[in-house]
Every structure is written in C-alpha cells, then in structure tokens.
Structure 1
Amino acid sequence: MDHQRVIRDVTVRLTMASSVPEACRWTVSALSQHTSATISVLLDVHDRLRCVAATGAWQVFATVPARTGIVGRVYATGATAVVPDVTVDPDYLPVRPDVTTELCVPVLDPAGRTVGVLDLQWSGPVDLEPWRETAQRLAALLGARIAALGGPPAESRSEKLLRHAAALSSAETEEAVMSAATCAAREVSTLSTAVLLIGGPDGARLGPSRAAPGELETRIRAELTAAGPETLGRIVERAHRYGAGYTLGEVGHPPTEDYQALTRAGVRTLIAVPVGPSDTGGALLVADARVLRPDPTTVSLMELLAGQAWTSLERLHTLARLREQASSDPLTGLRHTGPFGQRIAAATPGRTALLAIDVDGFKTVNDTYGHQAGDRVLVGLARALEGALRHGDELYRIGGDEFVAVIEVNRPEEAVRIAERLAEAARRIGRTISVGVALPRPGESPDGTLRRADQALYAVKRQGRDGVHLAAA
C-alpha cells in the first residue's frame, strides 16, 4: 500500500471542496479507492456526533451521543483508538457483522480542538500501524480544511426540530412541555419570540413565560393581558377555524382586529398555528419585531412542532389520569389502600386520629337488593361522609364497606365529636355506621393504630351498632 499516494489523492480532492460536507464526502471517497474499510466522518453538531460522510456499510449511525461508542470515546479524549479485536471492546458500535478491527482518529482544527472523528473498520487482516499514521495525517488535513470553510456545519432546521421533539417527549410537567415548545419554536423558526395560548373551559389564557423573557415577549404578554380573554379566544378560534397563517412582512397592510394587540406590542412578523383540537386546544404564536417573510416550510415545521407539543401534553394528562385511577377507588372516587398507607405512615402521634368506619347491615342490602343497590349505598355514603368532614380531613375506602378517615385533632374528644358528626351524616341519608376512633401512640406502627381503631369499631358493633367508641390511649 502506497500511503503517500493515499495522502496525495485526498489532499487534491480537499483543496477543491467548497463546503464542509463536500470536504468530508471527498475525503471518504478518495480514501475508499485505497482500502476496503468501512469509512465514516462524524462531526460535532450540537452536542452529538453527526455522520457527514460514509461508505462501505449496510447501515451507519446518523447521530451518536458525544461519549458513546469508540467514536465517542475518541472525540471526548482526543486520543486515537486502535482496536485490533472489536469483540473485546465494550464501546464498539456494530455496523457490519464481519468487522474485526477499528481505527478511529480525532479530527482536529489548526488550534488543536477536536471537531469530529475519522473512523475506519476492516473485516479482514490489516497492518494497523501505517494506517494509523495515514489516518492521523488525513484527519489533520481534513480538520484544517473544515476550519478554512468555517467549521463544522450548523444544525439544519429539521435536525433542530428532531432534537426539540425528543426534549418535548421527555418533559415531565406541563410547564416543561410548554417551555420546550416555545424554545423550539424560536430556534427552528429563527424568529425572536414564541408565546403559547392555552384553551380551556374558562377560555384561553397565556401559557408560562420563559425565565428571562425578551423585550418583545414582555410587550406581547402585556398587550394580550390587557386585551383580555375574549381577544385570546378569538385568536385561538381563528387559528383552529382557518388553519395556520403568517405575515408576508409587507408594509401598508393593516392587521385584522384579532391581531391589533400584537401589532401594538411591536410585532411585525407573525406565524400562528393551532395546537390540539378546537374544543380544548390553543395556539402557538411565533413573532418578531423585524419585517420578515416566513416561508411555507417554516410554517409547516411550526405545525409539526405544535402537534408534537400537544401529543406531549396529552401524554402527561393520560399519565395523570392513570395515576389517579391507580390511587383511587373507581366506585366512590375516594383514595384507597396505597395512599392510605402512605398517609398514616406520616401520622403525628397525639395529633392524628384514625376513624375506622363500617356500614351497618350492608350485607343485607347486597343480599336483598343486589350489588348495584349496594354500590349506590356506598357512593351516597361516601359523599355524605366527605361532606361532614372538615377541610384537610381525608377519607379512604379500604375494603368493600370499610372506610377510614384520617383527621388532625388537638384532643381525643375532638376526634370523637367528628366521628359523631359522621354517624349523624349517615343517619340523614337513611343509613347507620359504626365508628372506632384511635390516636397513634408514640412509637406505634400505623398498622397497630388501625388495629386498635378496628377493635373500637367492633366494640360499637357488640353494643348494637350506630355509634362511636374511642380506643384506650
């Protein structure tokens, strides 16, 4: 192998390259004339290594996290990796089933900064030492040409949108989703400001602001707030009725009435796209004080972003519903065993009382009138008991006809009075209950307190039901 010829061929092609992608493609193309290796050039593009040119593989990785694989290791350390046997290197990223050897060298700019890597993978015997020297020289030539052409290419708008879509999908709160959506809108559209209008049963409202809003966003928010919910609603309705719209940035064309508040704020360019369905969704407003001409592709990207944001919000709403279903009784809507266990585990000795409640004669209702009638009794009783409790008191259903109230009191007598209120509430709807009251002892387990409340409840049952009994302290 004439390695000097390899370097000459690549050098000639590099001098003719007029862009960084072209320089990378021609380097790979020239190099592939001299070796059967799988070759790729990956450059640093917004905290990931993006494959700019490659040859000789069924599949290449389009992007690789900056510290993943042998390529990520070389990029992070700036040190060449010579791997005679890829099967023993845990960082190897497989691109071909027959690869045995990998050589990866950092691509450095003239200042010594790592801007990417040049990677070669062979499936047969190869003399790695001369190839190491050649690859390092080629990487240096490529790094110098990349620097001369302005450095690694910037992210395309579609690449930015993909990155932001991942951030939206992993956001854990509604506020994080909306913040990520407006950040993405600004970056992908290149307009300076983005504001979300959120629909709801009480009308449209402004979504959250970013931590340090710019001057235009501050003015927009002030004008829209002053204009009131009716104006926000009209903007949202317009977006949903007619679809996405945008200005052409031409002077002398007055805005419609819906957008006058925005022009008063200084908006001269606007993209407005609907978010979600018309009955519950909102609108994404992307704006700038400059007079610009957004192109239809930019509007389409904003529509894709709005769809992704709504999907992420719906995901959070679904998770919240599932969590609520998992922690509450589907019949009565009361919380059940799991949350109850957490609550009594945090009980304050001497201040927290447990009220064990059992419906008197419930089995007779089920046996005589059927389970649907029994369910109606439980739902009615749950509502009556909730109405008799104070704000902050908590009611749980922990079994078929078994309830527990957790209340904060100053004295045992206060707990007894509240238990008697519950018994009276049951009588008012034609039912009776037996209530056992217990206050946690210092060092007592929650189960122990509940056991004493149950024992007090059964004392009421033995005395004829429809009453309250306080367990011994």
Structure 2
Amino acid sequence: MDHQRIIRDVTADLPTAPTVLDACQRFVTALAGHTPAAVSVLLQVQDRLRSVAATGAWQVFSTVPPKTGIVGRVFATGETAVVPDVTADPDHLPVRPDVVAEICVPVVDPAGRSVGVLDLQWSTPLDLTPWRVTAERLAARLGARIMALGGPPAESRSEKLLRHAAALSAATTECDLITAVICAARDVSGLAAPVLLLTGRGQTRLGKPPHTPGELENRIRAELTEAGPAALDRIVGRVHRYGAGYTLGEAGQPPTAEYVPLARAGVRALVAVPLGPPDGGGVLLVADERLIRPDPTTVSLMELLAGQAWNSLDRIRTLDRLREQASSDPLTGLRHTGPFGKRIAAATPGRTALLAVDVDGFKSVNDTYGHQAGDRLLIGLARALEGALRHGDELYRIGGDEFVAVIEVNRPEEAVRIAERLTEAARRTGHTISVGVALPRPGESAELTLRRADQALYTVKRQGRDGVRLAPA
C-alpha cells in the first residue's frame, strides 16, 4: 500500500474546503477510499469531543465526555494510541462488533495543543506500524487546515441549550434553578440581561439574581421594583394571555403599556416567554439595550428553556412539599417525631432541656364537644406555646395532645422559667397544661432524658395539673 499516495489523496482537497466541517467531511470521505477502517474525526466543543465526520454502518458516538474511551485518553494526553487487540484495552468504545484493532491520534494546532482526534478502527488484523505514521501525518495536516479556518466549530445554540438542560435537571433548590436559568438564557440568546418573574403565594416577585447583576439588569430590576407588584402582574398577564413575544428592534417605536418600565430602564430588545401556569410559574424576560431584532429561533429556544425550567421548578417545589409533609404535623404545622428524634440525638448534656407538655383534660374536650373542637384546641394551643418560646427554641408535637419543647439553657432554673411561660400562655387560651422538665445527664441517652421529663410531667398531673416540675438531676 502506497502511504505517500494516501496522504496526497486525502489532503488534496483540504486547501479548498470553505469550512471546518466541510474540511473534515472531505478528509474522512477520501480516507475511507483507501482503507476499510471505520474513520471518525472528533473535535473539542466545550468540554466534550463531538463527532464532526465519520464512516460506519452502526453506532457513531455523537459526543464523548472528557477522558472517556481511547479517544478521550488520546485527546487528554496528546499521545497516539496503537491498539492491535481492542479486547486488551478497557477504554475501547465499540462502534462495530467485529473491530479488532484501533489507532487514535491527536489532531493538534500549530502549537501542539490537541483540538480533536482522528480515530481508525479495523475489523481485520493488519500491520499498524505504517498506519500510525500515516495517521499522524494526516492528523497534522488536518489540524493545520482546521486552525487556518478559525479552529473547531463553535457550540451551536441548540447544543448550548442541551448542555444547560443538564444543569437545570440537577438543580435541587429554587435558588440553584434560578442561577441555571439565568446563565442559560444569557448564553443561548446572546442577550445581556435575563430576569425571572415568579408567581405564586398570592404575589408576583422578581427572582433573586444569582450573581452581581450587570448595569442593564440592575436598571430593569430597579424600574420593576419601583413600578410595584401590579406592574409585574400586568407583564405576567400579557405574556400568559398572548404567548411568547419579541421586539422588532426598530427605533422610535413606543412600547406597550406593560413594558414601559423596561423601556425606562433602557431596554431596546426583548424576548418574553411564559414559564409554567400564570398563578404558579412566571415569565422569563431576556433583554438588551442594543437595538437588535431577536430572530424567531431565539424565541423558540427561550420557550424550550422556559419549559425545561418550569418542569425543574415544579419538581423542586413538589419535593419541598413532600419533605415538609414528611417532617411536619398536618394539623398544627409543628415538626413531629422524625425531626424530633434527630434533634434530641444532638442534645448537649447540661445545656439542652426537654420540656414534656401534656394538655390537661383533653380527652374530656373530645368526648364532650367532638374531635373538631379538640383539633381547634390543639391548633390554638400550638400557636400560643410557639409564641411563648424564645427565638431558636423548638416545639414538636409527638402525640395526640403531647408536645415537647427543646431549648438551650445555661442552668436548670432557666428551663423552669421557660416552662412557666408556657403554662401562662396556655392559660390565656382558656386551657391548662402540665410540664415536665429534664436536662440530659452525662452519658444519658436522649430517650432516657425524655422519659425522666415525662415522669416529672405525671408528677404534676398527680398533684393537680397546671404546673411545672423539674426532674431530679
């Protein structure tokens, strides 16, 4: 086989190729005419290798994560891989089931930095030595032409959106999601100032910026804040009523009434798309002070981004509600036994006091007036007890009419005074409580401390109720 001729034939059309993608496709097509190998050229796009030209009948990997497979290894190290037996190399990525040998060489720029790889895979054994030399020389010429044309192709806007979608899906908090949406909107649209309007809980609010806002974004936020909630509601109403919209980038044209605050901020180009439902989602605004026309493709990409953002936001909110339901008593809203167990497990001997609280005569209220009256009693009492506690003190409902307050004190007398405040608060509701107080002993389990607080509580019950007792130290 005349390898000098292969090099001449494969590189003959490179000087006339008008684009990087065209150069790579001509290169692969010509090389495939000289070898039965599966040929592919992968170039760096962002943090991945993207296949820009290939031959083969089955799977061609569109993108490969960094350092994955032989191609990722070669790109990262800049060193050629010659693999006469692919079964002996755990990094081999099979594109055909019959592949037995592989050569992968880096495609480098004039400074020797990797910009991609040239990969060849054969289904029959052969002498790889001459092919290594040929592949390296071919890759060098391809790399030179790629750099002469400006380097590897830039990431397309749809590829950017796909990359950002992974960040949206990975967000675990609303703040993380807003950060991901803002970054994605700016990157994909090319406009300077993305702003989120979020609805729900009876009001429309500006999504908190995840970064130090730019000058235009600061002006937009200031104008919208000054305009007030009603102005935000009007923007949300317009976008959800009429759908996504954008400016035509024409000078001297007055904005519609809803967008006057944006015009005052200096906005001259705007894309506005709905996010989720009007009463629980919001609107994504992407603005710029340049007088430019966002094309319909930009609007479509922002609609796709908003759809993905809403799915992620709805997921986060649903998980938050489920976590809240799992850790809270549905009647009183107080935390219950699960969080209480974790809290008392972290009790500090001599400092963390447990106040066991029981409602006096609760059974007679249920028996006489019914369970609805009993529920109203518990709700009112829970609010009264919460109000009597200090900032940082915690109140749990651990049974029907049983509560426990967990407080941090400097000495037992302080815990008793807090317990007496609870009894006074209960009396103001027209009911009474009995309270037992205990502080953990060194080496004592939290369960035993709670048991001693319960014993002190029942002593109060036996002595006439409506009082406080400190468990013996």
Same-fold status (TM-score > 0.5): yes
Deviation at 1:256, TM superposition (A): 1.4
Contact kept? 2:389, 2:422, Cα under 8 Å = no
Name the structure 2 match of 1:354: 354
The aligned runs of 1:100-179 (5 Å cut-off) are: 100-179=100-179
The equivalent residue for 2:344 is: 344
In 2, Cα distance between the equivalents of 1:99 and 1:373?
Answer: 78
Report the alpha carbon displacement of residue 158 of structure 1 after superposing the two structures with TM.
Answer: 0.5
> 3-state SS of the aligned residue for 1:437?
strand
Which secondary structure state, in structure 2, belongs to the residue aligned with residue 250 of structure 1? coil
Query: 1:88 and 1:375 mapped to 2: Cα distance?
Result: 73
Tell me the amino acid that sits aligned with residue 275 of structure 1: L
Q: TM-score, normalised by structure 1?
A: 0.90
Confirm whether residue 387 of structure 1 aligns to residue 384 of structure 2.
yes
The letter for the 2-side match of 1:342 is K
- Kindly state the Cα deviation for residue 209 of structure 1 after the two structures are TM-superposed: 2.8
Q: How does 1:413-428 map to 2 (within 5 A)?
A: 413-420=413-420, 422=422
Counterpart amino acid of residue 390 in structure 1: L
Distance 1:123 1:433, change over 3 A: farther
- The corresponding residue for 1:277 is 277
Q: Which digits, 9 at most, give the CA deviation of each residue in 1:70-97, with x for residues without a partner? A: 1111111111112233333332223333
Larger mean CA deviation between 413-422 and 294-303 belongs to: 413-422
Change (3 A) 1:226 1:365: closer
Which one-letter code corresponds to 2:37 in the other structure?
A
Q: AA paired with 2:406?
A: V
1:26 aligns with 2:17: no
Instruction: Work out the CA distance in 2 between the residues paired with 1:141 and 1:287.
Output: 43
Q: Tell me the distance in 2 between the aligned counterparts of 1:122 and 1:394.
A: 69
The equivalent residue for 1:2 is 2
Which runs of no fewer than 5 residues in structure 1 stay unpaired? none
Tell me the residue number matched to 1:238.
238
The alpha carbon displacement at 1:398 in A equals 3.1
Determine helix, strand or coil for the equivalent of 2:67.
coil
Consecutive unaligned residues of structure 2, counting only runs of 5 or more, are none
Q: CA deviation at 1:144?
A: 0.8
Please, which moves more after superposition, 300-309 or 332-341?
A: 332-341
Quick check: 1:269–1:291 contact (8 Å CA) kept in 2? Answer: yes
Amino acid at match of 2:36: S
C-alpha distance after superposition, 1:197-252 (max 9, x if no partner): 22234532222235333222222222222222222221121111111111111123
Counterpart of 1:120, as a letter, is L
Identity %: 73
Distance in 1, Cα, partners of 2:281 & 2:364: 49
CA displacement at 1:277 relative to structure 2:
0.7
Residue 213 (structure 2) pairs with residue 213 (structure 1): yes
Structure 1 CA distance for aligned equivalents of residues 98 and 372 of structure 2: 66
Q: Is the 8 A contact 1:20 1:153 kept in 2?
A: yes
Q: Deviations over 1:95-151 (max 9, x none)?
A: 333333222110011221110011122233122222211111111111011011111
336-345 or 317-326: which moved more?
336-345
Q: Aligned residue for 1:437? A: 437
Q: Name the SS for the 2:311 alignment partner.
A: helix
Question: CA offset at residue 44 of structure 1?
Answer: 0.5
What is the CA–CA distance in structure 1 between the aligned matches of 2:128 and 2:370, rounded to whole Å?
82
TM-score by length of 2: 0.90
Q: Is the 8 A contact 1:331 1:375 kept in 2?
A: no
For residues 152-204 of structure 1, give each alpha carbon's deviation from its aligned partner in whole angstroms, at most 9, with x where no partner exists: 00011101111111111112322221122122212211122212222234532
User: SS in structure 2 opposite 1:280?
Assistant: coil
Distance 1:144 1:205 in 2: 53
Compute the displacement of 1:331 (Å). Answer: 4.7
Q: After TM superposition, which residue ranges in structure 1, 4 or more long, deviate above 6 angstroms?
A: 360-366, 424-432
CA shift for structure 1 position 63: 1.2
Counterpart-to-counterpart distance in 2, 1:375 and 1:419: 27
Q: 1:73 to 1:206 in 2, by over 3 A?
A: same
In structure 2, relative to structure 1, the CA distance for the partners of 1:232 and 1:43 (3 Å cut) is: same
Q: Which residues in structure 2 correspond to 1:13-412 (within 5 Å)?
A: 13-358=13-358, 377=374, 380-381=377-378, 383-388=380-385, 389-392=388-391, 393-399=393-399, 402-412=402-412
Cα distance in 1 for partners of 2:376, 2:442 equals 35
For residue 64 of structure 1, report the CA deviation from its aligned partner: 1.4
Deviation at 1:434, TM superposition (A): 4.7
One-letter amino acid of the structure 2 residue matched with residue 154 of structure 1: A
In structure 2, what is the Cα distance between the partners aligned to 1:374 and 1:201?
30
1:451 equivalenced with 2:451 (yes/no): yes
Kept in 2, the 8 Å contact 1:197–1:206? The answer is: yes
